[in-house]
Structure 1
């Protein structure tokens, strides 16, 4: 009869599924993802305004991140007009719930001069 694995043995063996930190980083850890959410924290922002606020990100990159965030339920897209096309993005309740993580990250980087 085999003895149950100890906690250390289990940790060494790894797990078949990503841990909660890895799963969270898959959602929030993408390039520009945190910045996109941060800029949406105060309310809806039109696409071109958001792209300008992000400075170093191309419009294509901003568009990709917004589509990912929308698919994950963190951001909502609203068409303001069709001619010319104008869209605004805002955070969902789930998106707002991620702000605590981003605020802690900001405080940590500020505290350590990163």
Structure 2
């Protein structure tokens, strides 16, 4: 986070502005998409087939789930395996890199559960 302030009298002024997203913002861009955290969380215990994942995420459309899975795979957070079954099935699993995000998601879960009910405003 490269943005810096300096105090002049009683006022703080910017002496160096951020020209790129800070590390927190970069992380939020990766993990902050709708359903992204929930998808990773549901994959934490091992491989899950697409339709099973869709049932776990009852409020998300299959189109949205497929889009998020593709993004997570492109970012190296999950892997996709095509199973030679009849009909063909696909299962998803968190990669080692993806597992590094799970502890942050768990902390976020704990923090969210501790929020007062009126603090939960969804848009």
| TM-score normalised by the chain length of structure 1 | 0.88
Q: Cα deviations across residues 52-110 of structure 1 (Å, max 9, x unaligned)?
A: 10010000000000000000000000001264220000000011110010000011011
For 1:77, the equivalent position in structure 2 comes to 80
CA RMSD, 1 decimal: 1.5
Which structure shows the higher helix fraction?
Answer: 1
For 2:17, the equivalent position in structure 1 comes to 14
For 2:98, the equivalent position in structure 1 comes to 95
Which structure shows the higher strand fraction?
Answer: 2
User: Does residue 110 of structure 2 align to residue 107 of structure 1?
Assistant: yes
Structure 1 gap ranges (5+): 1-6
Structure 1 consecutive aligned stretches of length 4 or more whose deviation exceeds 3 Å: none
User: Does residue 49 of structure 2 align to residue 49 of structure 1?
Assistant: no
| TM-score normalised by the chain length of structure 2 | 0.82
Greater RCO between the two (CA within 8 Å, min separation 6)?
A: 1
